[in-house]
Structure 1
Amino acid sequence: MPDNSLFGVHAAALEVRSQRMGLLASNIANASTPGFKARDLDFGKALASVEQMGTGANLGSATMYRNPFQPSLDGNTVELASEQTAFAENAVQYQTTLSFLNGRIGQITRALKGE
Structure 2
Amino acid sequence: MTVSFSDSIALHANALSLREKRNEILASNIANAATPNFKARDFDFEAELARASGPGSAATGAEPALAYRVPVNTSLDGNTVELSVEQMEFSENTLRYQTSLSFLNRRISGLLSAIKGE
Do they superpose with TM above 0.5? yes
Hey, what's the Cα distance between the residues in 2 that align with 1:48 and 1:84?
A: 25
SS at match of 1:59: coil
* Correspondences of 1:73-92 after superposition (within 5 Å): 73-92=76-95
Identity fraction in percent: 53
Please tell me the root mean square deviation across aligned C-alpha atoms, in Å.
1.5
Structure 1 residue ranges (4+ consecutive) displaced by more than 6 angstroms after TM superposition = none
| 1:12 corresponding residue in structure 2 | 14
Q: Indicate if the aligned counterparts of 1:20 and 1:41 stay in contact, CA closer than 8 A.
A: yes
Structure 1 range deviating more: 49-58 or 10-19 = 49-58
Secondary structure (helix, strand or coil) at the match of 2:60 reads coil
Report the equivalent of 2:61: 56
| Worse-superposed segment, 28-37 or 50-59 | 50-59
For normalisation by structure 2, the TM-score amounts to 0.86
- Normalising by structure 1, report the TM-score: 0.88
Unpaired segments ≥5 residues, structure 2: none
Equivalent pairs, count = 111
Name the amino acid aligned to 2:62. Answer: A
1:54 positional shift? 4.1
Alignment map for 1:33-112 (pairs within 5 Å): 33-51=35-53, 52-60=57-65, 63-112=66-115
The answer for unaligned runs of 5 or more in structure 1 is none
1:49 CA drift (Å): 2.9
Q: Alignment partner of 1:5: what SS?
A: helix
